[in-house]
């Protein structure tokens, strides 16, 4: 179990920087690999650690977050760790109550219904006061990793957070949230601006705490069409990249690589490639060659094996990985799934995926 070390400076020296080099577009001996939701319920040790605790209570415990972040690294030769947390800690920081309902998922006790409800939100958020527990978890985990691999911090993007805050939970249509975009465009922009400002400070705080890369999750991009994405998602995605970078400079913090993952937004790949992020994450619904053609040579791509491919026999997983690597090429590329791991997946198959990426990319690089 992770023990707390007080000085956030003096982190252990990084031994495997393959992921960071790939993110910056430098050459790598093998293609780095990590998995979204690699700290998850597919691991028996995760279920055991989480069993006794409320979900958000777990998120607020630096010790437990550290332990859950490290579990997949004990099993698999992954090239990065991602801090265990949740995107909905941001609405909580704005004063909204979110509970995890078994069998239903995250649920807001009082979602935003009317424009007036925006007044109930904290208009100025002190991220250290509200989200300091995430920063503590990052510092603790960074020490406990002992330099094995880099640690990724993350946040939800404004539109995705807004959609949860209005829907009150998951939704297949996002009709309530999208109706705001059509009926209350000004209020929608006010809310998105507030979220973008908080997310920017939150990500800067994560770097100050020890995060070595950052990923922004626009998980609900697919519910928007190109025009709404252009109006209500992309400007804030751009502002966050710009805001984080200028604040990191101001505070003399390391300029860490940033990843944008906008699920199902292939219509926006060209724009995302120019939005100020070093890495563009892809879901599984786009061909590697097509993604390369649209994003150009100046960004690294991350993705995009269909998570359900991990249900295939291990040999088949190897073939699919090889094909994926041939499609993307082994450089300026970080292997991942096109979305997170599912709870019923076999850890052995996850291991087969990770090992196949390393073996096939090394082989391709040699020849």
42 is catalytic: no
41 is catalytic: yes
- The pLDDT tens digits of the residues spanning 20-31 come to 999 999 999 999
Q: Which domains are delineated in the chain? A: 30-366 (3.20.20.210)
Of the candidates 10, 143, 8, 174, the one whose C-alpha atom is nearest the C-alpha of residue 81 is 143
47 is catalytic: no
pLDDT at 2: 59
pLDDT at 82: 98
**Cα of 197 vs its chain's centroid, Å:** 18
**Catalytic pick from 24, 86, 342, 362?**
86
**Catalytic pick from 17, 21, 42, 50?**
50
pLDDT band at 5 (very low <50, low <70, confident <90, very high): very low
Return all residues near 12 (Cβ < 8 A) that are at least 6 apart: 143, 145, 146, 147
* Inter-CA distances, 89 with 83, 84, 198, 289, 329, Å: 13, 12, 11, 36, 36
* Residue spans of alpha helices (H) in the chain: 18-23, 44-50, 55-59, 62-75, 89-93, 127-144, 158-167, 175-183, 185-209, 226-232, 234-250, 269-273, 288-295, 314-328, 347-366
**Catalytic pick from 42, 164, 277, 333?**
164
Cis peptide before 10 (omega within 30 of 0): no
- The pLDDT tens digits of the residues spanning 313-365 come to 999 999 999 999 999 999 999 999 999 999 999 999 999 999 999 999 999 99
* Mean pLDDT score across all residues of the chain: 96
The C-alpha atoms of residue 345 and residue 103 are separated, in whole angstroms, by 18
Position 248 pLDDT exceeds 60: yes
- The pLDDT tens digits of the residues spanning 95-147 come to 999 999 988 999 999 999 999 999 999 999 999 999 999 999 999 999 999 99
């Amino acid at each position: 179990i992770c023990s707390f070390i007080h000085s956030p400076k003096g982190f252990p020296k990084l031994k495997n920087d393959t992921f960071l080099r790939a993110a910056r577009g430098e050459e790598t001996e093998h293609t780095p690999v990590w998995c979204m939701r690699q700290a998850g319920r597919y691991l028996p040790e995760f279920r055991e650690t989480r069993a006794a605790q409320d979900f958000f209570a777990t998120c607020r415990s630096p010790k437990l977050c550290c332990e859950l972040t490290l579990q997949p690294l004990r099993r698999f030769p992954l090239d990065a760790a991602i801090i265990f947390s949740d995107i909905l800690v941001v609405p909580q920081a704005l004063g909204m109550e979110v509970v995890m309902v078994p069998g239903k998922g995250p649920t807001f006790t009082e979602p935003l219904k009317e424009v007036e409800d925006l007044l109930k939100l904290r208009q100025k958020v002190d991220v250290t006061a509200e989200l300091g527990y995430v920063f503590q978890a990052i510092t603790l985990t960074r020490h406990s990793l002992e330099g094995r691999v880099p640690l990724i911090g993350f946040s939800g993007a404004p539109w995705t957070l807004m959609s949860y805050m209005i829907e009150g939970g998951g939704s297949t249509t996002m009709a309530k949230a999208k109706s705001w975009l059509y009926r209350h465009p000004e209020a929608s922009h006010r809310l998105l601006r507030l979220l973008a400002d908080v997310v920017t400070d939150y990500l800067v705080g994560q770097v100050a705490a020890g995060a070595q890369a950052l990923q922004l999750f626009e998980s609900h991009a697919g519910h928007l069409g190109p025009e709404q994405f252009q109006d209500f998602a992309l400007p804030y995605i751009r502002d966050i990249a710009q805001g984080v970078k200028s604040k990191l400079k101001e505070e003399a913090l390391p300029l860490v690589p940033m990843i944008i993952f906008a699920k199902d937004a292939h219509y926006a790949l060209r724009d995302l490639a120019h939005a100020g992020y070093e890495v563009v994450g892809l879901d599984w619904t786009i061909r590697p060659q097509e993604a390369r053609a649209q994003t150009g040579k100046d960004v690294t791509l991350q993705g995009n094996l269909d998570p359900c491919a991990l249900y295939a026999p291990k040999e088949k997983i190897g073939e699919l990985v090889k094909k994926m690597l041939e499609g993307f090429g082994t450089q300026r590329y970080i292997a991942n799934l096109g979305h997170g791991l599912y709870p019923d997946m076999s850890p052995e198959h996850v291991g087969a995926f990770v090992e196949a990426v390393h073996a096939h990319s090394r082989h391709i690089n040699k020849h």
